[in-house]
Amino acid sequence: MTEYATLAGGCFWCTEAVFKDVIGVESVESGYIGGHVPDPTYKQVCGGDTGHAEAIRVGFDPEQVSYADLLDIFFATHDPTQLNRQGNDVGTQYRSAIFPETVMQEEQANQAIARAQEDVPGKIVTTIEEFGDWYPAEGYHQDYWETSGRSNPYCMAVIPPKLQKLRKSFAARSKAAAPAA
């Protein structure tokens, strides 16, 4: 039975690429959540006036990877101490946020923040926000790393280090780092 985790950690192209490499992840959809404008466009969200975050909705098999494990990967592969930004991406649309769908996910999100805080030098500013309307991003944003990202200089600078961190720190969870069967 597929469960879902909805996470915002900066540019959704970057977070999507990381989570598509996690064993037990069945799907990753880029989209928008946490705002007040119905059915926003990428241009509107990038303008910073809709209140939405660029986020990913991760479908996962809880028998292969737990929600807690996904949260640990989330914290390890972005900077949760940067308020409303990730690197050169600045604005509330790039905030670090978790959108739990159940009380249990909310409890686990709080626990994950506490665990992550032990490993980072600054204060974690990741918010836990109410799960609301989810709006899938336009088609060209889906599977971006596999389709267009390798020809995008921004993605080439940002995504490979994130994937390296995943594959080093979570080798047992990475599809690419797993031994061939």
Rounded CA-CA distance 168/174 in Å is 9
Rounded CA-CA distance 101/76 in Å is 22
Catalytic residues: 11
Rounded CA-CA distance 60/133 in Å is 20
Could you give the angle at which helices 103-117 and 67-76 cross, rounded to 10 degrees?
40
Site of tokens 């690429």:
17
Please give the distance of CA 166 from its chain centroid, rounded to a whole number: 13
Site of tokens 């009380």:
103
Report angle CA 82, 34, 125 to the nearest 5 degrees: 20
Sequence-distant (≥ 6) Cβ neighbours of residue 42 within 8 angstroms:
137, 138, 141
